[in-house]
Amino acid sequence: MTFALDHLACFLLTNLLLDKIKASAPARIINVSSGAHTSGKIEFDNLQGERDYSPRAYDNSKLANILFTMELARRLEGTGVTVNALHPGFVSTGFGKNNPGFLMKIIRAVVPLIARSPEKGAETSIYLA
């Protein structure tokens, strides 16, 4: 489900709206990705993690966001539509809060101390919009 929710959903929405976006140029498409994309690897035979699922699924989906953004920017060059991807930073959200395990308990305790607030994390998105 990670790939479907984190990548395919924005891919589909963008493509469904693309004609309207191009018709309303100048326009912007902004994809929220993550620095985790640097650890990602596209496994075409295991996109949804059916064969084996790991936390790397998130990294892989964020790499797909970056690759999609780069290709879409290339295809839309000269149309008046700007396409960007961003990493909002380490933001204190509910991400992973239902994951079990001792390590996750430690992470949940530390996150509020070192992570950005959601408001601070939104600043780059707002700037690009």
Rounded to 5 degrees, what are φ and ψ at 50? -65, -40
- Contacts of 128 by beta carbon, 8 Å cutoff, 6+ apart: 28, 30, 84, 86
Average pLDDT, the chain: 87
Give me the residues paired with residue 32 across strands. Answer: 86
pLDDT tens figures, 18-27 = 999 999 999 9
| Top-ranked range on mean pLDDT: pick from 25-39, 60-74, 85-99 | 60-74
Q: Where do the structural domains in the chain lie, given as residue ranges?
A: 1-87, 90-129
| pTM listed for this prediction | 0.79
Which of the four pLDDT bands, split at 50, 70 and 90, describes residue 13? Answer: very high
pLDDT tens figures, 89-105 = 878 777 666 777 777 77
Q: Cis check for the bond before 88: say yes or no (omega within 30 of 0).
A: no
pLDDT tens figures, 39-51 = 888 877 777 667 7
CATH number corresponding to 1-87: 3.40.50.720
Q: Which residues are catalytic?
A: 58
Q: Measure the CA–CA gap between 35 and 71, rounded to whole angstroms.
A: 18
The SS3 assignment for 81 reads strand
What's the confidence (pLDDT) of residue 116? 85
- Please tell me the least confidently modeled range out of 27-31, 79-83, 105-109: 105-109
What's the confidence (pLDDT) of residue 96? 66
